[in-house]
Chains A and B, each alone.
Chain A
């Protein structure tokens, strides 16, 4: 079994239900996120369009975070999930440096690395990840990539525009997007100016409350 995730961006409406469900399910501390939905506005007024991109760990087949972790705190599960053992983690932040997707953060409460685990604890109880359950439009499709009859496999077979983020990194992500453009997948394809935007202030945070 190799679990994977697909987000159909044609369906996503940026409600952030997945983001909140993840926060609640995994008790993610303030100022940190395992899953987030990024809004990017494209075009110039009045010809504009708003894009929504849910961003989470890509559970790479060739995960740089797993390779660089000095104590195997980051490790593969048999189902392909890249899991994290917070009791083992020494907080070196090597994984934060290695992840090309910015998906790992230092938990300010435990001072250890943390990230999306595809809700491995729920999977173990035959439940879907919290974000999948919360999505009102079923934009999140989760399942076994090894099973040709699974929802995710059939979805991928029926589409020609399935993409991953940063394929050139050679990480072989198991997180896919349908209907994505450069603006969705490439952080350098959009401007990110610090300051107040729609509802909040874009800024940078001190890492883990230390240093």
Chain B
């Protein structure tokens, strides 16, 4: 008898039940996470460039602030769109429940947006770089929990064990660094020289490498013993329904950008760096989407 055959005594089949809910958090939530990674990640990158290449990065203060504002608003817009009662969003501010990562995240994101507008005022109207840089330090500190709170939220989703991996916080930070460096490579244009872009490429490549190692360690090579996690991971293994999307994501977000960054260093090609950045941004969406969807396919009852 083949090992996978079911013994007669243990053959159990659901013969009458209700329909189970389908995907509860759909692609809107993927866009939410993807946009937040760019919105906070690019702030990290501006801070780094201002320390390492102050002459060049100075010209990026206002454009980066605008990009961050735009993507944080995309994040907020899609969060709102995913609510079944979006017009009650104000309840989070007037009836906050502080044990919820959703509440804490909403308040932090709101403060983050407010401070971004102050940055925009300082860079575009007041043109005060000293004040901008001082405030930026505090905003970078706030951007860290804004990046991480999604991991806290997912870990509160007790039913979905795959989202409760201890490394999810690290994955969120790597996603922000990957998305931030990729977007900065594209935004830098003629304002950044090759050395600055090479540094961004290093951040992009290392973030991709670390994320890839974590995914492979946990999903592919890690001997998951928890029944529910093992069940969920079947969706990305063999001929599982999300296997193709999972591997496409891994290749487009991590493997190809890493290869292109190595090639760009060998040939000093900015175009290869840009291609790596575009692929990383597109692939990150796929990676996040698979991670979001597969635990929701687990039957809970």
Contacts and interface: CB of A to CB of B under 8 A. Distances in A.
A23 B41 CA distance: 49
Interface stretch (A100-108, A127-135, A155-163): A100-108
Given A38-B16, A99-B300, A100-B158, A93 B102 contact: no
The size bracket of the interface on A is 35 or more
B13 interface: yes
Nearest to A211: B26
Contact of A68 (B17, B23, B102): B102
A71 to B, nearest CB: 4
Given A39-B16, A189-B12, A200-B16, A91 B85 contact: yes
A97 B157 contact: yes
B190 interface: no
A38 B14 contact: yes
B3 interface: no
A40 B12 contact: yes
Interface in B1-37: 8-26, 28
A167 to B, nearest CB: 13
Contacts of B11: 42-44
Contacts of A193: 13-14
B21 to A, nearest CB: 5
A72 interface: yes
B12 A41 contact: yes
The size bracket of the interface on B is 35 or more
B24 A204 contact: no
A43 B227 contact: no
Interface string A98-139: 111111011000011000000000000000000000000000
Interface string A185-211: 011111111000111101111111011
Contacts of B21: 96, 102, 105-106, 204-205, 207
B88 A90 contact: yes
A33 B96 contact: no
Interface of B: 8-26, 28, 82-86, 88-89, 91-92, 95-97, 99-103, 106, 153, 156-160, 227-228, 231, 296, 299-301
12 contacts: A39-B14, A42-B9, A68-B157, A70-B92, A88-B88, A91-B83, A91-B85, A97-B157, A98-B158, A99-B159, A188-B299, A192-B17
Given A31-B19, A91-B85, 9 more contacts: A33-B18, A38-B14, A43-B8, A43-B9, A64-B157, A94-B100, A102-B159, A112-B84, A203-B19
